[in-house]
Chain A
């Protein structure tokens, strides 16, 4: 079903715990756990490209002008970030989440660093200064 299609006030059932209702400025997602959350149209193309409410982001839970939170991640700026990665980085991503290797591991670059998720464990990385191998020789 085209999720941009206008539907009645009851919304369209999505999965087993939520509905989506579209209006002129946003799409309203309602779940028993999070209530009704409006998602602005500007976010919908990315959200739908990632599978919408049935994708890894899941249903929207809350948000503000900078970050929209979902069950499985956030949309910050023009990128989506898995929850485990955003919890470590807490800043806007520079690009999309990337698959790391051949399995389920992930990585995403940020302005001040990089976050990896290996075997489900998120880890933040920063760029270290060059090592001065001669510092002990000069005193």
Chain B
């Protein structure tokens, strides 16, 4: 999926770029209650918890 089809917030986009996660493959999804979110990318995942943005890569890749 090419980038641009999914909305990405600036903080999430920066984290994905810094960790070379590629383009988003989903919209941001809610992560439990509150404003926390998770968004999947071609090579990873970015979560926002309590305003803190964290990038993740799968241990299986």
Contact = CB atoms under 8 A, between A and B. Distances in A.
A128 B55 contact: yes
Contacts of B49: 109
If over half of A's interface residues share one DSSP class (helix, strand or loop), that class is named, otherwise mixed; here it is strand
Interface centre among B30, B31, B57 (most CB of A within 10 A): B31
A36 B56 CA distance: 41
Size class of B's contact patch?
A: 20 to 34
Contacts of B33: 98
A120 interface: no
Interface stretch (A15-23, A46-54, A100-108): A100-108
Contact of A107 (B20, B31, B54, B55): B31
A114 interface: yes
Contacts of A28: none
Interface centre among A107, A116, A125 (most CB of B within 10 A): A125
Interface in B28-58: 29-33, 36, 38, 44-45, 47, 49, 54-58
Interface of B: 18-20, 29-33, 36, 38, 44-45, 47, 49, 54-60
